Amino acid sequence: MNRILIVEDEPPISNLIAMNLKQAGYLCTCAFDGEEAADLISPGAFDLILLDIMLPKINGLELLEYIRPMEIPVIFITARSGVPDRVKGLRMGADDYISKPFEVAELLARVESVLRRYQKSERTLHVLDVTIDTDSRTVMKNGAQVDLTVKEFDLLLLFARNKNIALFRETIYERVWENPYMGDTRTVDLHVQRLRKKMGWEDHLQTVYKVGYRLVV
């Protein structure tokens, strides 16, 4: 299970991030200023750090210089107006950034992307009665293999990594089909219906009115 340090001085934002990452299966530790974070960080202690730039005591850019020799990937959390800081952070070695306010699905996607880049993402996921092997792209349900198409597998993986989170249809389409969403929901709806039937998740893969879908675990 991947270990993530959240360095954010605003408790509501820190709690929101931690809650959603924990629901997605990550172990989370929170620090509320740069000095507290520096005391927690050591080589191998964390698989990823989410780092706010504007922090008390030691700011995020200064802390990044301390983190960089340990080769722990870092995603900056920034204000939308902080373009110069984002650019500076990326040039200093941050792996990605996410701007406040952000959607949970985007946060989880960026976390997964950076972990995958460092080959630290989970190779096996367990959801309800299902085991997903991301390397072999196989799905086992109660010991029996479930045959899925490429898109059905990608859709299952998206829901498994965003458990209990309502995903907009446009988010689903853009993440799975990797194309801009043009407003047609039929492709998403059809694939979700097929996946729901194949997995036997009629009670778990729920429709969220005027939004999209959510895998309830």
Strand order, beta sheet including 205-208: 167-168, 212-215, 205-208
**Has residue 82 got a pLDDT over 90?**
no
Burial class (CB in 10 A: 0-12, 13-18, 19+), 108: buried
Domain boundary (90, 117, 144) is at 117
Model pLDDT for residues 132-159, shown as the tens digit of each residue: 998 889 999 988 999 999 999 999 988 9
Domain boundary (69, 93, 117) is at 117
> Which pTM value belongs to this model?
0.64
CATH of the domain at 156: 1.10.10.10
Model pLDDT for residues 90-129, shown as the tens digit of each residue: 777 788 888 888 888 888 888 988 888 877 666 788 888 8
Domain that holds residue 176: 124-215
Domain boundary (73, 96, 117) is at 117
- Looking only at the bridges linking them, the beta strands covering 48-52 and 3-7 are parallel
Average pLDDT of span 14-39? 91
Question: Is residue 135 domain-shared with residue 101, that is, in the same domain?
Answer: no
